[in-house]
Chains A and B, each alone.
Chain A
Amino acid sequence: MNAWVLLLLFCLGAGLGYRVIRQVPSLLHTPLMSGMNALSGVTVLGALAATVAAVTTGDRACAALAVALAMVNIVGGFLVTHRMLRMFKPQEEGGEVPANE
């Protein structure tokens, strides 16, 4: 894909991301960050492609390690975000119920 098209996509992604994320209330900033951790694991796509292209054993090991690290981010990030978001309850549901964790 043409580098200029990629640059355009980069600007679009950053601009759109900036606008959308500014709407997230500071109430949810911690889950937002862990969610972004998960999304930064998108580098797994690069790691997968690199593994396929890797020739030497050393490179293949490096790429496999990259896949594993990125997956820690993806799975860990999404799960912990889910765990946190489920704790946020409005008054009517959460007001009376004491902590159970």
Chain B
Amino acid sequence: MTPLAYHLVALALAAGMVWGIHWMNSPRTAVRGNLLGSLCMLGAIVLTLIRHGVLARGDLWLAMVVGGAAGSVLAAAVSMVQMPQLVALLNGLGGGASALVAWVILGGNADTLDAVTRSGAGLALAVGAVTLSGSAVAAGKLHGKINGRPIILPGHMLWSVLSLAVMVLGVAGILAAPADAGLLSVLTLLAALGFGVLFAIRIGGADMPITISLLNSLSGLAASIAGFALRNPLLVVAGAVVGAAGLVLTEHMCRAMNRALGGVLLGRLGAGGAVQAGEAPAAASPARGAAQAASPSSLLKKAELVIIVPGYGMALAQAQHEVANLMQQMEADGAKVCFAIHPVAGRMPGHMNVLLAEAGVPYDKLCEMDAINPKFKNADVVIVVGANDVVNPAAATAEDTPIYGMPILRVSDAKHVMVCNKDTEPGYAGVENPLYSYDNVTLLLGDAKDTVARLARESHRAP
């Protein structure tokens, strides 16, 4: 295959991958886009095998089949609730694969490699290893294997800076002193793995969406940098696209939580305010219960516009099917129902949408925060299902807490609010929620799955 032909095909495949993502801009074309992306990836693999003249090498195909089989089992077995940890895991595997590639490049005769290859491989090793260990910790936290609260070790900041410094010096050393590349790679690898752990372990649940997005970006960046070392244009372009995607999502999450990206990169996430109770009014206010004059079910029977606000608690209680049933029943009874989705509800970007889509909620009922906020005042009833921080009015007033300045869903504008949460404990951000004591708020505490099912049963209008 001539170099020209190779590069032309590679360019076409890269364009195909980008076009596939372009089709992801609407749920109508997204399936097609994903299919196009996967076909282009297959094409890229075959192209690479042909270029190196190893199309018939059995060991390569064996490794691919083993990995592919493991991937398909994972994809089929995962539940929608577990999607954040799957994505975290895959971020880590991508980073790990890139680090391994860099390791193999440096493992050959490093002093025969040119400067671009050495620095590319060194950087890919570092970024890939940070992604691997950081994602492993994030996945562990999301899966409940590691304490989900921020964990701060003694001398945390010192160790972070130290490992980062060793990592940077290691990469610089690989570039400057290729004769010692073997030892320097080991140092870089260990420092990067350590930094990844230190970075991710201090992040609490509510900051997970930002962290996962960032690690998503890094996994692409690692691949792209490895592409520099290997002079592989497809790797460079596809990796850069993934890096950009992760960055867009990170930016989106930061905006939704009113956080500066710089602060996130420095690891200044929620840890600071995690134990604060906030300056919200005391929870046990006597005003509570005023709305209970009318029972929740009778309010629902009369309601014309109902807005449902789901949060991570809905995922934990597996209540999405009950919520979808409630919606279908109320629609059948003539009410209008829609959903208000906060960008950081759940543990990853878009998590609530996937859960509700799985339960059969049509996607045109899923409204973004900016679109739905002005509509709360017209709503007869708002049903909050397992959401806390994203509806906490203290975000506007409680300075020095992790949620300060975060835009929230203004549920209290509605005539009545029903909160189907497990308890009145503060959410992941650790800030008391004054909403619970508002006059127009009714607390329906307990398992959200049971509460929502009961609401549906009791509010059914007679045919």
| Residues of A near any B CB (own CB < 8 A) | 1, 3, 5-7, 9-18, 20-56, 58-59, 62-91, 93-101
Report whether B252 and A26 are in contact in the complex, using a CB–CB cutoff of 8 Å.
yes
Report whether A23 and B245 are in contact in the complex, using a CB–CB cutoff of 8 Å.
no
Report whether A21 and B21 are in contact in the complex, using a CB–CB cutoff of 8 Å.
yes
Report whether B236 and A82 are in contact in the complex, using a CB–CB cutoff of 8 Å.
no
Binary CB contact string for chain B from 203 to 237 against chain A (1 if under 8 A, 0 otherwise): 00000000011001001101110111111111111
Interchain CB contact (< 8 A) of B224 among A3, A10, A59? A10
Whether A31 contacts B94 in the complex (CB less than 8 A), given A6-B228, A59-B104, comes out as no
Contacts of B325 in A (CB 8 A): 98
Q: What are 13 A-B contacts with C-beta separation under 8 Å?
A: A15-B244, A33-B350, A43-B226, A56-B107, A63-B101, A67-B63, A67-B64, A74-B41, A77-B90, A80-B78, A87-B354, A93-B362, A95-B331
Contacts of B416 in A (CB 8 A): none
Report whether A43 and B235 are in contact in the complex, using a CB–CB cutoff of 8 Å.
yes
| Residues of B near any A CB (own CB < 8 A) | 14, 17-18, 21-22, 24-28, 30-31, 34-35, 37-38, 41, 44-45, 48-49, 52, 54, 57, 59-60, 63-72, 74-76, 78, 80, 83, 86-87, 90-91, 93-98, 100-101, 103-105, 107-108, 116, 212-213, 216, 219-220, 222-224, 226-249, 252, 321, 324-325, 328, 331, 341, 343, 348-351, 353-354, 357-366, 368
Whether A34 contacts B27 in the complex (CB less than 8 A), given A17-B21, A74-B68, A99-B324, comes out as no
Interchain CB contact (< 8 A) of B68 among A13, A55, A59, A71? A71
Contacts of A25 in B (CB 8 A): 25-26, 368
Report whether A36 and B71 are in contact in the complex, using a CB–CB cutoff of 8 Å.
no
The 10 closest A-B pairs by CB, nearest first: A71-B67, A76-B71, A29-B350, A13-B240, A75-B71, A17-B241, A68-B67, A17-B244, A29-B349, A79-B75
Given contacts A50-B230, A66-B100, 9 further A-B contacts (CB under 8 A): A6-B231, A10-B224, A21-B245, A28-B30, A40-B238, A64-B60, A66-B96, A71-B63, A74-B68
Report whether B101 and A42 are in contact in the complex, using a CB–CB cutoff of 8 Å.
no
Contacts of A97 in B (CB 8 A): 360
By beta carbon, the residue of chain A nearest B209 is A29
Report whether B362 and A70 are in contact in the complex, using a CB–CB cutoff of 8 Å.
no
Report whether B245 and A37 are in contact in the complex, using a CB–CB cutoff of 8 Å.
no
By beta carbon, the residue of chain B nearest A82 is B34
Contacts of B90 in A (CB 8 A): 34, 37, 40, 72-73, 76-77
Whether A33 contacts B212 in the complex (CB less than 8 A), given A28-B24, A42-B41, A76-B72, comes out as yes
Report whether B70 and A35 are in contact in the complex, using a CB–CB cutoff of 8 Å.
no
- CA of A75 to CA of B315, assembled, Å: 26
- CA of A26 to CA of B24, assembled, Å: 11
Report whether B353 and A30 are in contact in the complex, using a CB–CB cutoff of 8 Å.
yes
- CA of A78 to CA of B302, assembled, Å: 45
- CA of A53 to CA of B462, assembled, Å: 74
By beta carbon, the residue of chain A nearest B233 is A9
Contacts of A80 in B (CB 8 A): 74-75, 78, 83, 86
